[in-house]
Amino acid sequence: MFDIWKPEIFHGRRKEKNFFEGWYFKVVDHSEKNACAVIPGVSITGDPSKSHAFVMFLDARAQRMRYFRYPLDELKASDKKFELSIGGSFFSSERMNLTLGQGRGLITARISFKGTYPWPVKLLSPG
């Protein structure tokens, strides 16, 4: 019940169907010539064979999107704060470590965040 005051944490722990949650990261380099978006998330349906975790990677410069699908058991999330792992990738408010794909299509990154702004939570507008 009190999870509405923590919009950044994973809310699907006891969900069995009709649940979707994702987190959006926009990353721009210092030159502002390269930008990407990374969206880790989870889709839980009534059909366990369709339920999955995912990481979506969008490259703004190349105008290309890639979708990496993982079994639900590869999603590990904290109940206390925003920390989650999907496959070989890790996401938190402080950093993002990506390992997506393999071979020539491999995407890896180690990014630290400073000066971030959390989603505003107010009495009449919880998470």
**Could you give the dihedral angle defined by the CA atoms of residues 41, 100, 75 and 1, in that order, rounded to the nearest 10 degrees?**
-30
Report the pLDDT value the prediction gives residue 19, as an integer from 0 to 100. 78
Report the pLDDT value the prediction gives residue 41, as an integer from 0 to 100. 94
If you average pLDDT over residues 51-65, what whole number do you get? 94
Tens digit of pLDDT for each residue in 61-89? 899 999 999 999 999 998 888 899 999 99
pTM, 2 dp: 0.83
Strand partners, 42: 21, 53
Report the pLDDT value the prediction gives residue 18, as an integer from 0 to 100. 79
The pair of structure tokens assigned to 38 is 């990374």
Tens digit of pLDDT for each residue in 82-114? 899 999 999 998 999 999 998 888 999 999 988
Tens digit of pLDDT for each residue in 10-35? 555 666 777 788 889 999 999 999 99
If you average pLDDT over residues 53-63, what whole number do you get? 94
Report the pLDDT value the prediction gives residue 9, as an integer from 0 to 100. 62
Task: Tell me the domain boundaries of the chain.
Answer: 15-112
